[in-house]
């Protein structure tokens, strides 16, 4: 079989394309240009507005494969797997990348192992093409984030990988771009099925501002000493109009809920401003916030790892510094 082309898996919710789809197109464009092939994206859903589909062309896709079916309106693993497997067998892309979201982390292993027997690397931070072989070089943190491992799949095709969201900027919008939109018709004998039924969506209200969308994030770590002191972090975040984050250590101690965790085993974010309060800066945590535009660290240990990455560092007791910051910010406002 001749496998050719780079594919990304676009995501949609309630008919609106998720911004992570544009991040993937940015990554995919670099891979496609090195291989000299087209960049395509796959969008599964039901009655998705044409403007949303066209936006994928403006963001860098040469082709958009759209599959329209009622069972694809919401993410359900079984029908998504059926459709993606059919499409891969039909069009034979060489590379497929998806976001390491709930959707990507669920569907990509399912597709890779169900019939294709393809290689899959999860949570990549860097993707590149190996000169001479055209193999996909898939780099991801390993051994608790202490090393970066580069993995390749020299024999199995397609080569599949998931990429952590917010690890790259979304592709720029270019309304002058032209591309092809292909409405994929499923075979009449192909009956989509799902043993799971979508009943409804209940948003997580514990976070206030979702970390992935927040332009400002204030995080607390072990330096807070106890869970009650997260009220100080929430107060500063509220004053700045930002979200509340946490280190894994704080979450493991039960001081705050898991949805606030930032790092390799939590969320990857890329806000305009990141304030780390009482966080030493383990490699695991840094991997989740190092793409922030501006990083401010408050820690009483002058040798804390976080200061090596921070743009601004304050050495001192956070219980003395943070209340002053809150007071000064409120006075300015």
Whole-angstrom CA distances from 140 to 31, 145, 149, 327 are: 17, 9, 6, 41
* CATH code, 251: 3.40.50.1220
Are 284 and 326 found together in one domain? yes
191 occurs within a structural domain:
no
Please indicate, yes or no, whether residues 227 and 148 belong to a single structural domain of this protein. Answer: no
Grade residue 204 by pLDDT with cuts at 50, 70 and 90.
low
Confirm if 73 and 45 have CB atoms less than 8 A apart.
Answer: yes
**How does the average pLDDT of the chain come out, rounded?**
92
**Domain membership of residue 283 as a residue range:** 216-332
Q: Which of the four pLDDT bands, split at 50, 70 and 90, describes residue 291? A: confident
CA nearest to 296, candidates 328, 320, 321, 323: 321
Query: Is residue 247 situated within a structural domain?
Result: yes
User: Do residues 151 and 289 share a domain?
Assistant: no
In a domain, 189, yes or no: no
Taking residues 311-328, report their average pLDDT. 95
Q: What is the pLDDT of residue 209?
A: 74
Mean pLDDT of 279-303: 91
- The count of structural domains within the chain is 2
Pair 132, 221 in one domain: no
Residue 38's closest CA among 6, 66, 60? 6
Instruction: Tell me the per-residue pLDDT of 216-255, one tens digit each, with 9 for 90 and over.
Output: 999 999 999 999 999 999 999 999 999 999 999 999 999 9
pLDDT band with cut points at 50, 70 and 90 for residue 213: confident
Residue-wise over 235-252: b if at least 16 C-beta within 10 A, else e?
bbbebbebbbbbbbbbbe
| pLDDT bracket for residue 147 (50, 70, 90) | confident
Give residue 1's pLDDT band: very low, low, confident or very high (50, 70, 90). low
Question: For the residues 32-42, what does the mean pLDDT come to?
Answer: 96
- Tell whether 158 and 221 lie within a shared domain: no
């Amino acid at each position: 079989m001749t496998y050719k082309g780079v594919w990304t898996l676009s995501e949609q919710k309630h008919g609106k394309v998720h911004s992570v789809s544009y991040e993937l197109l940015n990554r995919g464009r670099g891979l496609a240009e090195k291989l000299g092939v087209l960049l395509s994206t796959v969008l599964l859903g039901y009655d998705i507005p044409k403007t949303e589909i066209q936006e994928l062309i403006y963001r860098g896709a040469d082709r958009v494969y759209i599959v329209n079916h009622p069972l694809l309106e919401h993410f359900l693993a079984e029908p998504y797997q059926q459709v993606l497997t059919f499409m891969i067998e039909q069009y034979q892309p060489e590379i497929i990348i998806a976001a390491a979201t709930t959707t990507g982390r669920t569907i990509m292993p399912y597709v890779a192992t169900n019939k294709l027997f393809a290689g899959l690397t999860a949570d990549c931070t860097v993707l590149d093409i190996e000169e001479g072989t055209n193999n996909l070089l898939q780099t991801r943190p390993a051994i608790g984030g202490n090393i970066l491992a580069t993995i390749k799949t020299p024999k199995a095709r397609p080569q599949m990988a998931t990429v952590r969201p917010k690890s790259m900027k979304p592709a720029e919008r270019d309304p002058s771009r032209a591309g092809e939109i292909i409405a994929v018709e499923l075979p009449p004998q192909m009956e989509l099925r799902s043993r799971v039924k979508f009943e409804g969506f209940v948003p997580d209200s514990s976070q206030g501002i979702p970390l992935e969308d927040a332009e400002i994030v204030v995080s607390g770590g072990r330096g807070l000493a106890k869970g009650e002191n997260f009220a100080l972090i929430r107060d500063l975040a509220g004053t700045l109009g930002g979200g509340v984050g946490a280190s894994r250590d704080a979450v493991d101690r039960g001081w705050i809920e898991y949805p606030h965790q930032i790092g390799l085993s939590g969320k990857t974010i890329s806000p305009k401003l990141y304030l780390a309060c009482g966080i030493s800066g383990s490699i695991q945590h840094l991997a989740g916030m190092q793409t922030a535009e501006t990083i401010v660290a408050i820690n009483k240990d002058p040798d804390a790892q976080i200061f090596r990455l921070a743009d601004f560092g304050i050495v001192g007791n956070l219980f003395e510094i943070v209340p002053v910051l809150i007071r000064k910010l409120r006075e300015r406002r």
